[in-house]
């Protein structure tokens, strides 16, 4: 049976050189094919909202926060959440990777709990990007636990902007990887069965989405499983001829 995966897609454009033209094209594709949302850089939030209002489009708008490094102070991250919440329905924020790599787990926990609380105060969905390519298995076990116990709405695999050289030094691949998504599913049973899983980074085919959804042990419900991709058209193309 064919699963309607287009309705699970956060249709994404985050390249630093993109202009309003790319944002308009993203919005039109999202409207045409029925993706769940657009995910964009904050500089275009107001523009996107106004354009969508003129066209009568009502799908969700996701803003990335402290992206792609997760290197801002907690205070700056909270301020950004408050500001972007004026226009965004959901916020995808990068975990404080430098603190993770320093083993400063108390600070990691404080930061993530604080940003989740800030987003929920604004009535927004928040996804924590754990940037799997940059962490060891031991770091994943601790970071995933913190994210799950923070009450975040989603845990998200990657930014899509990882440095391959550093990832390879750790024996990691970039993007959404089955084994990491399986680990998320496993730990969520213990720490937070309600948390959604968002796969992002290198997702280009229908088959890949199905495999990742199986690994996530989530049903095709956008509040349980989401796909972040800038390759929605490739996914649609790959569905042709599948029955």
The CATH number of the structural domain formed by 6-239 is 3.20.20.70
Residue range 100-125, pLDDT digits in tens? 999 999 999 999 999 999 999 999 99
Which residue ranges make up each domain of the chain?
Answer: 6-239
DSSP 6-55: GGGEEEEE--TT--HHHHHHHHHHHHHHT-SEEEE-GGGHHHHHHHHHHH
pTM above 0.75, yes or no: yes
Q: What is the mean pLDDT of residues 173-180?
A: 98
pLDDT at 243: 54
- Segments in the chain forming alpha helices (H): 20-33, 45-55, 74-84, 97-101, 105-121, 137-149, 164-169, 178-191, 206-216, 232-239
Q: Which two tokens stand for residue 179?
A: 């084994």
- pLDDT reported for residue 101: 98
How far is the C-alpha of 207 from the C-alpha of 174, rounded, in Å?
18
Task: Point out the residues that are catalytic.
Answer: 92, 156, 198
User: What would the pLDDT profile of 189-222 be if each residue is shown by its tens digit?
Assistant: 999 999 999 999 999 999 999 999 999 999 999 9
* pLDDT band at residue 83 under the 50/70/90 scheme: very high
For the record, the structure tokens of 200 come out as 């992002």
d(CA 167, CA 152): 25
């Amino acid at each position: 049976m064919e699963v309607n995966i287009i309705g699970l897609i956060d249709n994404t454009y985050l390249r630093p050189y993109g202009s309003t033209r790319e944002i308009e094209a993203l919005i039109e594709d999202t409207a045409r094919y029925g993706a769940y949302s657009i995910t964009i850089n904050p500089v275009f939030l107001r523009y996107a909202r106004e354009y969508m209002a003129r066209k009568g489009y009502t799908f969700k708008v996701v803003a990335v926060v402290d992206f792609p490094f997760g290197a801002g102070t907690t205070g700056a991250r909270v301020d950004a959440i408050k500001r972007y919440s004026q226009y965004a329905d959901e916020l995808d924020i990068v975990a404080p990777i430098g603190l993770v790599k320093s083993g400063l787990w108390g600070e990691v926990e404080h930061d993530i709990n604080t940003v989740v609380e800030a987003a929920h105060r604004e009535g927004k969905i928040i996804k924590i990007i754990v940037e799997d390519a940059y962490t060891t298995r031991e770091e994943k076990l601790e970071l995933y636990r913190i994210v799950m116990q923070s009450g975040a709405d989603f845990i998200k695999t990657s930014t899509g902007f990882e440095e391959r050289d550093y990832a390879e030094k750790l024996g990691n691949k970039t993007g959404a990887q089955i084994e990491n998504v399986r680990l998320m599913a496993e730990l969520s049973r213990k720490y937070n069965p309600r948390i959604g899983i968002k796969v992002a980074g290198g997702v280009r085919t229908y088959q890949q989405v199905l495999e990742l959804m199986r690994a996530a042990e989530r049903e095709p419900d956008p509040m349980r499983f989401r796909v972040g991709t800038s390759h929605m058209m490739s996914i649609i193309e790959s569905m042709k001829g599948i029955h």
